[in-house]
């Protein structure tokens, strides 16, 4: 069963952040119980919101150590000077108004048999269902010397938006005209497949305005551009010819903060600013229940119809930590969240969850200070196959001003969706 074009446009239209999923039944027994959600990012905050909306009799506790939400999508725009940190930083204030109990804390232990979460602050919280939405863990020890260079402020990954984003922006501003910016792309899978290539565009845009003699060396751990290849090649050739030196199959092996070099299998690459993004895996809290259970013990396998862990009953996992054929994006995490929330409401009410949920993904990438492109796809769950991409959708091969403005609208819509 496929979706017609009108349905597709409703699901992932250029300005829309809302995605269609099967919502919890409004009929029959009401869901009751306590759901604990760990992590208030795109997945966790959205899940908590819809648990309360679709299960008004549920008690929902949302545990998050940070004071505010800082968006990874659009953090590259900060590096390019198109936005500020204030523009991508948002309050959690609206979530408690929905009846969600917010707890500023970190989870340090989970007793899956007794269904108890324990926090760094000393709280012990029982649950009927637990949702883990921790995002990613950056494997800084996978690149020799990275941790020492990072501690000295000589290298950043900036793959979790926040202080490192601001630091990298300052380093780029301080770099002399004619300097070299060395950045890397981790081998897939990793958070936000097009993100590193958009970052190259945004930094190149900034250099073109402020430091036109500078250049970028892009070391890719993959054999080719991993996402939106046509779009980024178009952007590099159109706006930044000769500025971006792209090197595939060049995974960083070591960093030397004193010499300001990044070593690959082939050579030592010297730069004035180093932005190395190491390999990643599911957030650390997932390991507390043994949920990193793929073949590499890095990502979490789940029942994709409910997002319940295949390793830990009554524990659901969302977003970037999940192993699947779906992209690791903020928009997709909100879709995971809605499918999961609907399933939990049904399960706690004694109903069978929707067997064929539908999710959508839309991702915009800026290519200059006024142009962007997008990818948009819809996926329907099929038993035995997982999520199957529907015929509609695809990616743009060039950027334009319309998509740039759609991207701006998308950001406002999805932040309101997650936090409002």
Distance CA 404, CA 352 (A): 41
Top pLDDT among 10 and 275 is at: 275
Mean pLDDT of 114-121: 98
Residue 15's pLDDT band (cuts 50, 70, 90): very low
Distance CA 28, CA 348 (A): 12
Taken in order 334, 419, 300, 264, the sign of the CA dihedral is positive
pLDDT digits (tens, 9 = 90+) for 161-215: 999 999 999 999 999 999 999 999 999 999 999 999 999 999 999 999 999 999 9
Residue 149's pLDDT band (cuts 50, 70, 90): very high
pLDDT digits (tens, 9 = 90+) for 236-294: 999 999 999 999 999 999 999 999 999 999 999 999 999 999 999 999 999 999 999 99
pLDDT digits (tens, 9 = 90+) for 28-58: 578 899 999 999 999 999 999 999 999 999 9
Q: How many CA atoms lie within 13 A of 250 on its CB side?
A: 19
For position 30, what pLDDT does the model report? 86
For position 28, what pLDDT does the model report? 54
pLDDT digits (tens, 9 = 90+) for 367-417: 999 999 999 999 999 999 999 999 888 999 999 999 999 999 999 999 999
Distance CA 349, CA 25 (A): 10
On the question of pLDDT at 12 being above 70, the answer is: no
Q: Write down the mean pLDDT value for the chain.
A: 94
Distance CA 42, CA 406 (A): 19
On the question of pLDDT at 22 being above 70, the answer is: no
CA distances from 204 to 199, 207, 213, 290, 371 (A): 8, 5, 11, 42, 14
Distance CA 307, CA 25 (A): 18
Top pLDDT among 22 and 64 is at: 64
| Strand blocks (E) in 165-285 | 180-185, 215-220, 244-247, 254-256, 261-263, 268-270, 273-275, 280-282
Type and span of the H or E element at 410: helix 401-419
Mean pLDDT of 346-353: 97
Distance CA 51, CA 345 (A): 7
Residue 5's pLDDT band (cuts 50, 70, 90): very low
pTM for the whole structure: 0.93
CA distances from 281 to 171, 276, 380 (A): 27, 16, 26
pLDDT digits (tens, 9 = 90+) for 71-87: 999 999 999 999 999 99
Mean pLDDT of 328-355: 98
For position 420, what pLDDT does the model report? 87
Pairing of strands 116-119, 124-126: antiparallel
- Strands of the sheet containing 58-63, edge to edge, are 100-103, 58-63, 33-38, 129-132, 315-317, 308-309, 302-303
Residue 227's pLDDT band (cuts 50, 70, 90): very high
CB neighbour list of residue 15: distance below 8 Å, 6 or more residues apart: 406, 409, 410, 413
Distance CA 377, CA 185 (A): 23
Q: How many CA atoms lie within 13 A of 84 on its CB side?
A: 2
Type and span of the H or E element at 381: strand 372-382
| DSSP structural state of residue 92 | -
Q: What percentage of the chain has pLDDT greater than the value 90? A: 91
């Amino acid at each position: 069963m496929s979706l017609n074009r009108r349905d597709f446009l409703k699901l992932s239209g250029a300005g829309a952040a809302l995605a269609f999923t099967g919502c919890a039944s409004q009929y029959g027994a009401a869901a009751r119980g306590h759901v604990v959600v760990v992590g208030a990012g795109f997945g966790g905050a959205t899940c908590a919101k819809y648990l309360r909306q679709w299960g008004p009799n549920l008690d929902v506790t949302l545990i998050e150590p940070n004071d505010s939400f800082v968006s990874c999508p659009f953090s590259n725009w900060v590096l390019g000077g198109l936005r500020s940190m204030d523009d991508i930083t948002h309050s959690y204030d609206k979530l408690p108004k929905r009846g969600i109990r917010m707890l500023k804390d970190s989870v340090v232990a989970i007793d899956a048999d007794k269904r108890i979460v324990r926090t760094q602050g000393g709280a012990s919280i029982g649950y009927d269902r637990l949702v883990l939405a921790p995002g990613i863990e950056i494997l800084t020890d996978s690149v020799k010397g990275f941790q020492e260079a990072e501690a000295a402020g000589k290298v950043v990954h900036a793959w979790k938006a926040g202080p490192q984003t601001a630091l990298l922006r300052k380093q780029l501003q301080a770099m002399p005209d004619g300097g070299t910016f060395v950045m890397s792309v981790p081998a897939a899978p990793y958070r936000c497949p097009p993100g590193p290539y958009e970052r190259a565009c945004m930094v190149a845009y900034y250099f073109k305005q402020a430091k036109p003699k500078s250049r970028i060396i892009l070391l890719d751990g993959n054999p080719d551009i991993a996402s939106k290849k046509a779009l980024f090649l178009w952007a590099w050739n159109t706006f930044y010819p000769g500025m971006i030196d792209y090197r595939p199959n060049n995974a960083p092996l070591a960093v030397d903060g004193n010499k300001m070099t990044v070593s690959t299998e082939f050579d030592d690459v010297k730069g004035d600013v180093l932005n190395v993004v190491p390999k990643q895996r599911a957030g650390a809290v997932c390991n507390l229940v043994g949920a990193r259970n793929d073949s590499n013990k890095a990502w979490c396998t789940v029942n994709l119809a409910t997002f319940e862990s295949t390793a830990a009953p009554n524990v659901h996992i969302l977003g970037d930590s999940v192993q699947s054929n779906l992209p690791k994006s903020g928009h997709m995490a909100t879709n995971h969240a809605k499918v999961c929330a609907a399933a939990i409401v049904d399960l706690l009410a004694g109903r069978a969850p929707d067997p064929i949920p539908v999710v959508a993904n839309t991702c915009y990438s800026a290519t200059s200070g006024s142009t962007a492109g997008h990818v948009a796809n819809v996926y329907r769950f099929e038993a035995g196959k997982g999520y199957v991409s529907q015929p509609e959708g695809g990616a743009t091969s060039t950027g334009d001003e319309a998509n740039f403005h759609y991207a701006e609208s998308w950001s406002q819509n999805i932040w309101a969706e997650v936090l409002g």
